[in-house]
Structure 1
């Protein structure tokens, strides 16, 4: 047979336990609040010092920048004083008279380019084959024309750009 051990029963009062838990909760809340306030105070003190340093650095930098700008302005003013001024307005610089224009004889007058479209009677020929045939048939030296551009068009056609006799 098994023996039965009897344990002494502990009388637990629910109200006492609840009161103890509430007291512990209040104590912990007070400690947390106090620790939070101390941390906030420390952070504020540290940031205040940093903020003051930043403001001082910005003031010093602004003074240096202002000094550099004033020096540059003074250099520019001195350079302007040393350089002789011309009394020519911008419109007089760009304005050309008839005499100035006609004096320059090297002016090239653009001429119209003539386009020639070449196609093949044979539908099977490609644009490349049409170009080969045209190069064999046309002789620019003999015809006295200057071919400036050749490009392939749609539907087995090529387009040649010519300037006319001798390219003049």
Structure 2
């Protein structure tokens, strides 16, 4: 019986220590804080702008499906369809999605694209630098090989070490480049 409890606790501990559970918990906390930011933008900025053209509260709009829709002695009579609240929820969703997209997603996507372009440009210049260093090293190698074979004395066309060549046999014996 104690083995079962220990294995259950170990399993629960392993579940909690998984990376994706921690990531999910962080995402929920950040999402809750972010929801407050988005709601404040919608309620403080967007809804007053929409209210300037109409009403801010759509909950009052309804239609009566059957009979006179009224409340008598605390009892509702008739069948009332509250289409204003549905329309309000849809508009809130669309406005919230637009605020998130235009104020959060789009700027972040542009920032990441600029960062990727900068990183690609840095990588391109790094390749050019590496290539030019490689070319210089090849020229040095070619000049040294030409000198060790008894160069003509003009220094070759490598652009390295102009002047007179040393010719064969004048270098340190037993060493070759």
| TM-score, normalised relative to structure 1 | 0.38
Structure with the largest fraction of strand: 1
| TM-score, normalised relative to structure 2 | 0.37
Q: Which has the higher contact order (CA 8 A, sep 6+)?
A: 1
Larger Rg computed on CA atoms: 1
